[in-house]
Structure 1
């Protein structure tokens, strides 16, 4: 089992911790609650949630590079998927994004895996990382296209209703 101090000093883990903090909990709101840039980026119509998901995919990719097993990578991808899909719903999705904090969840999952010593052999890390990253990017592009189509449809419907 790897020593905790060695894990804590890994530059990749430090990077994903910092990114998760910026995305999910960098701005204090008072009452002990914090918000990050992810729900704020999600407010951008037509792809804000897809942009946030791309940043989240970096944490997933680094998890794969660190040797996190496939089942945990899929769980991390599910966290991102849930946050991205629900986050695409105006207002309610942004509130969910604020509460769910997929990035912080995923970093905790990486840390638990590393501390338990349940990492995969290093020779498969690159293949897993590449596969996960390609799948995640394809998914993000699909969500962005779907969000754009929904917004265009709503705009057309509103234009027809009001015009």
Structure 2
């Protein structure tokens, strides 16, 4: 993409994020929400539809050549929004508060303005996320081992 195409795409994605996350304001407050929160109210398919729309920003960022660490952070934002959306009531509140589209467009804008700094921050985030996932696997493995050991000792009568 050339600079003009990048700017046009950036403007379109900024508008999409605004429509999805900030279109409406609750009167008398500074609280804003968009169509993502409204779509998320549809039982069963709302959060999935919101995630599909949100993935457009991710796809456009990939086409713009954004590094994988930033794309992973964007995917995390979309995934967290979708997963939280599954939980009744909490999911609906999170749809109004998390604003994954706005976060992802901000990541893209930050990358276009300060690529090195944004890549470093995203790599750190992905590294921490990987460490948390690895720690979770280790903890589950240890727990499984201890349960199996307890069962084995119970069967042996010791």
Mapped partners of 2:115, 2:72: distance in 1? 18
RMSD: 1.7
Mapped partners of 1:39, 1:90: distance in 2? 13
Would you say 1:14 and 2:11 are equivalent positions?
A: yes
Structure 2: gaps of 5 or more residues = 117-158
**Superposition pairs for residues 11-160 of structure 1, below 5 Å?**
11-30=8-27, 31-118=29-116
Bigger Rg, structure 1 or 2: 2
Is the Cα contact below 8 Å between 1:27 and 1:35 reproduced in 2? yes
Q: What is the CA-CA distance between 1:117 and the residue it aligns to? A: 3.8
Mapped partners of 1:111, 1:58: distance in 2? 15
Is the Cα contact below 8 Å between 1:41 and 1:49 reproduced in 2? yes
Is the Cα contact below 8 Å between 1:42 and 1:88 reproduced in 2? no
Moved over 6 A (4+): none
Mapped partners of 2:87, 2:22: distance in 1? 21
Mapped partners of 2:88, 2:17: distance in 1? 23
> If the length of structure 1 is used for normalisation, what is the TM-score?
0.65
SS in 2 for 1:32: coil
Q: How many residues align?
A: 113
> If the length of structure 2 is used for normalisation, what is the TM-score?
0.67
Mapped partners of 1:96, 1:107: distance in 2? 18
Structure 1: gaps of 5 or more residues = 1-5, 119-163
Residue 129 of structure 2 corresponds to none
Q: What is the CA-CA distance between 1:20 and the residue it aligns to? A: 0.5
